[in-house]
Amino acid sequence: MKIRLQKIIADAGLGSRREAERWITEGKVKVNGQVETKLGSSADPKMDLIRVNGKALPSTQEKVYILFNKPGNCLTTMTTDARGRMTVMDFLKKAPIRVFPVGRLDYNTQGLLLCTNDGDLSKKLLEPRYAVERTYLVKVRGVPNDKSLARIRKGIWLDEKPTAPVKVEIQRTSGKNCFLILRLTEGKNRHVKRICEAVRHPVIRLKRTHFAGLSLDDLPLGAFRFLSPREIRSLHSAVAPSKSSARENQPAYVEPTKPKPRKDLGRDNALGMDKPRKRVSRTGAPTKAKPRKDLSRASALSKSSARKNPRRTGAPSKSAPRKTASRAGAPSKGRPRAKRK
């Protein structure tokens, strides 16, 4: 039965599928003496002669699963570092079969790292649709408040996309700093560090304690152990097709909306005075809005001066009849004129 070349190479334990695809595109893989450079090429491992970097592909090996407690200042890579830094393969030299790490941990990050030669299982454990949980113990600068923790739980925008919801809780405080426990179901580049930086609590120390139901327990730093049959079965059950279909049938996660930038609308627009309001009469018919009065200072002064001195405005003035009052306060009618004789 023919299988894709990258899968055959990964199952043989030479490297991950990504590395196998790179070898194919670089022309380092030959099938029956012919160089294969297409990623869709397939072959029969029982009938065809496959060579990688000039060496014949080894026969199908037994699947090996190793749990490694990665120390800090160590690279997660299969190749040697050009700067001479320590890699995880330097600690796995005593392993009976060549294995490769499942995922990556940053250079300064410590903790649990699964290594295996099972390419299919490795790929499924990293796929977001299976939502494999990872647990981290994080020491951050400062103590996050409830608002910052709520932002992390809801999801933070990274690379113009929101992260999946994260379970977070404060384990304990240490002076001005504190330790957080984060449980994630996806793994992006510098995921935990970027989340904590987004809420202004940078990471001081980072350690992965659990992955896909596996735990470090009392495994010393820089040591590794083989998984038990029970742990291997739990890994396969975590990526079973039934688990994936059950997660797909769950309600879709609603992405948090991006906050829109607020416009400077000025005082009138901020009060909602930029648009005319619709007025409705008692009968229900719309009425026309009354024109706004000119309430400026110059207009108010001109109107008050016009009332006081109407001659300045050019309007004819009407003199009111002068009323006289008596000493008692009642208006007097005036003295009658004497008749001429």
Q: What is the secondary structure of 318-334 as a DSSP string?
A: -PPPPP-B-TTSSBP--
Q: Which pLDDT value is given to residue 188?
A: 83
Q: Give me the mean pLDDT over the 295-324 stretch.
A: 55
pLDDT > 80? residue 253:
no
Q: Which pLDDT value is given to residue 289?
A: 58
* Most confidently predicted of 94-108, 125-139, 242-256: 125-139
pLDDT > 70? residue 283:
no
Among 11, 44, 81, 106, the active-site one is: 106
Q: Give me the mean pLDDT over the 241-257 stretch.
A: 52
Q: Which of 13-22, 41-50, 182-191, 329-338 has the lowest mean pLDDT?
A: 329-338
pLDDT > 70? residue 79:
yes
User: Which has more pLDDT, 228 or 189?
Assistant: 228
- Report the alpha-carbon distance of residue 1 to residue 61 in Å, rounded: 18
pLDDT > 50? residue 270:
no
120 is a catalytic site residue: no
pLDDT > 90? residue 67:
yes
| Tokens coding 104 | 């990556």
Do residues 123 and 167 lie in contact, with contact meaning Cβ atoms separated by under 8 Å?
Answer: no
**Per-chain mean pLDDT for the chain:** 79
Q: Which pLDDT value is given to residue 271?
A: 46
| Tokens coding 8 | 């055959």
- Report the alpha-carbon distance of residue 77 to residue 238 in Å, rounded: 25
- Report the alpha-carbon distance of residue 181 to residue 13 in Å, rounded: 34
Domain 3-56, CATH 3.40.190.180 — does that match? no
- Report the alpha-carbon distance of residue 305 to residue 204 in Å, rounded: 73
* Most confidently predicted of 27-41, 68-82, 152-166: 68-82
Q: Which of 42-51, 75-84, 96-105 has the lowest mean pLDDT?
A: 42-51
Its pTM stands at 0.61
Domain residue ranges of the chain, discontinuous segments joined by +: 3-56
Q: Which of 15-19, 168-172, 214-218 has the lowest mean pLDDT?
A: 15-19
| Tokens coding 221 | 């730093």
Q: Give me the mean pLDDT over the 311-317 stretch.
A: 52
User: Which has more pLDDT, 261 or 13?
Assistant: 13
Q: Give me the mean pLDDT over the 43-48 stretch.
A: 81
Sequence-separated (6 or more) residues with CB below 8 Å from residue 110: 69, 70, 71, 72, 206, 207, 208, 221
Radius of gyration, CA atoms only, the chain: 41
- pLDDT band, residue 265 (cuts 50/70/90): low
